[in-house]
Amino acid sequence: MMETIVSKNSYKQEPWSLDELFPALEGSEVREALAEVEALVQEFETFRARLALELEPAVFQHILQAYEQLVRLVARLGGFGYLHFSADTQNQQIQAFLARIQQLSAEADNRTLFFKLWWKELDEEAASRLLPVAGDLRYWLETLRLERPYTLSEAEERVINLKNVNGPYALLNLFTSLTSRYAFKLAVNGELKEFNREELQVYFRHPDPELRAAAYQELLRVWQEEAPILGQIYQYRVRDWYNENVSLRSFSSPIAVRNLYNDVPNEVVDILLDVCRANAPLFQRYFRLKAHWLGVERLRRYDLYAPVAEVDKSYPYAEAVELVLDSFHQFDPGVASLGRRVFDKHHVDGEVRKGKQDGAFCLTIGPDLTPWILQTYNGRVDDVATLAHELGHAVHALLADHHAVLTQQASLPLAETASTFAEMLVTDRLLAENPDPDTRRAVLFRQMDIAYATIGRQAYFALFEREAHDLIRQGAAIDDLSRLYARNLADQFGEALAVSDDFQYEWLGIPHFYASPFYVYAYAFGQLLVFSLYQQYQEEGEAFKPRYLAILSAGGSDSPATILERAGIDMYAHDFWQGGFDVIQEMVEQLEALERPH
């Protein structure tokens, strides 16, 4: 039975407005901004002659201010191009504009590169003398010095910057353009329909098991057919990652690159992934429980996200917005006010349309701008959760907008804190307002589905990436990677799920593998962290909020370890990560205690 909730506000499911950036791609404002970038770069180039061991702190401070001004403007142009491209990946004019801005960014970086290289090579005494005047940029400068062992000569760094524009960046644009134009066909109620990926994925959670299977089979059929192309793109991406970062920069491993940029020690990431792998049986226990509720002996992989009850609700877009904002308001009115600002500025593109980039994201361009959110909204509970997730990212950025452009955004592991916390707020709201047992049960099962999707699934993605990068270096073919992925699935699911052969091609359609190698463990990091924080919130109430908001307000102005230490969290502790799984075990036990179907 499908219940539709009546909307109470006027928010529309519409394309976003980019007017806060520039009125048009080829307008005079863009031309003026491009000219200003050139002027700022030329001015910055004059500082090269002034860089010396005895540089005066006041001059150093002036150089930092000039650099930040340039970064803000380039980010504004780059964000404008990327948002346009995400909204319409097939538009040739937009593609050309984005490529032009990426080239501009690389050239500006090359011409100003001398400053960062000088700073990295400066001795400790001189650096310590200048750091006190850096203000909010202090941590950014400290992280640059962490890169010192992996930094090349200026000439080499400039070549790499230019290489990236027509190398990995071009491959990523190609991947996005290709996958955004794919059409998937599925018979629904006897009628053959055509969907984009986001629309097709609605049926992964359909009550009809055959329709679920057909939707997955159609998706995986396309991935298998496109494997010769997508697989090559991935191989080139991985080889480029290794050649630059391990062969040239001398990182110890491909994942160590991401760990350094996240400022999370290799040891911590190893502990996180080891704990996740050791707890795979906990999710397998949940899958067996879900099979019982679905009345089957064993779940198929097609059934992983199947609903456990026929009762469901369709949430019109405006109602979903209000539900999310109300959930935020119950936690903290200030948080809700920041979230509402994103909609009031028309910075959300929630439309369903062809050519739009798959997935969802929140883009923060700078502290003086309200973030933008892209989502293809289809009215499901999952879409409401995704909306809350991305709006959580936006609130995180707005709480940190007192920082500089280079320190506003949190490192990847902490970047998922507000988004995941926001999802949990909405889940509690859904439980509170739905006394119907079937609906409550469906929400509780969905909460576990999300826990798996953001912890177990993402951790095993990272484990796959670690092995895939090694295999590609050894000359692995695309089919070898598919077989590796099949083994990865067998390890995480054990005997709890029946995984059909077609799922070996699933890896080909995971955007993060291409765009941001090893990004995915940040989701597991963030979710386990949030389980701990949310438990504190439920126990402490109002007393918890200042500590949590302080984590968000810190943005990227300090290391994750330092920010978490202030909240009493030791990310080196095995017991901390296991504590997150203890919360999951309690969730499973809560479901096991429910009256089961006969």
DSSP string covering 85-99? HHH-TT-HHHHHHHH
pLDDT at 312: 59
Question: Helices 478-493 & 280-294, crossing angle to 10 degrees?
Answer: 80
What are the E-state strand segments in 411-490? none
Q: Compute the distance between CA of residue 104 and CA of residue 88 in angstroms, rounded to an integer.
A: 21
Most confident of 56-60, 434-438, 589-593: 56-60
- From the list 55, 482, 15, the residue with the least C-alpha distance to 235 is 482
pLDDT at 566: 87
By CB neighbour count within 10 A (0-12 exposed, 13-18 middle, 19+ buried), where does 272 fall?
Answer: buried
pLDDT in tens, 527-580: 999 998 888 898 899 999 999 999 999 999 999 999 999 888 899 999 999 999
Q: Are strands 372-374 and 361-363 parallel, antiparallel or unpaired?
A: antiparallel
What does the mean pLDDT of the chain come to? 93
pLDDT at 92: 94
Work out the average pLDDT over 521-530. Answer: 93
DSSP 491: H
Q: Compute the distance between CA of residue 517 and CA of residue 509 in angstroms, rounded to an integer.
A: 14
312 contacts 373 by C-beta, under 8 angstroms: no
Question: Three-state SS for 331?
Answer: helix
The domains found in the chain, sorted by start residue, are 28-175 (1.20.140.70), 176-309+441-515 (1.10.1370.20)
Indicate the residue type of 569: I
pLDDT in tens, 301-353: 999 999 987 655 789 999 999 999 999 999 999 999 999 999 999 999 999 99
- From the list 262, 312, 197, 283, the residue with the least C-alpha distance to 457 is 283
* Count of positions (residues) in the chain: 598
Q: Bin 433: left if φ > 0, else alpha if -120 < ψ < 50, else beta.
A: alpha
- From the list 387, 374, 371, 372, the residue with the least C-alpha distance to 322 is 387
Pure H helices in 46-56: none
pTM as predicted = 0.85
pLDDT at 4: 39
pLDDT at 5: 41
Q: How far is CA 332 from CA 339, 432, 544, 564, 590, in A?
A: 11, 17, 12, 21, 28
Place of tokens 């507000």: 418
The helix or strand, by DSSP H or E, that contains position 300, with its residue range, turns out to be strand 299-300
Place of tokens 């291409």: 514
Q: What percent of the chain has a predicted confidence (pLDDT) above 70?
A: 97
Q: Compute the distance between CA of residue 587 and CA of residue 185 in angstroms, rounded to an integer.
A: 37
Place of tokens 């911590």: 268
**Which two tokens mark 159?**
């070549």
**Which two tokens mark 233?**
């793109």
381 contacts 439 by C-beta, under 8 angstroms: no
Q: Compute the distance between CA of residue 325 and CA of residue 320 in angstroms, rounded to an integer.
A: 9
577 contacts 279 by C-beta, under 8 angstroms: no
**R_g (Cα) of the chain, nearest Å:** 24
Q: How confident is the model at residue 2 (pLDDT cuts 50, 70, 90)?
A: very low
Q: How confident is the model at residue 446 (pLDDT cuts 50, 70, 90)?
A: confident
Q: Bin 518: left if φ > 0, else alpha if -120 < ψ < 50, else beta.
A: left
The rounded Cα 357 to chain-centroid distance in angstroms is 14
453 contacts 446 by C-beta, under 8 angstroms: no
**Which two tokens mark 314?**
């369709």
300 contacts 213 by C-beta, under 8 angstroms: yes
State the CB neighbour count (10 A cutoff) for residue 466.
Answer: 18
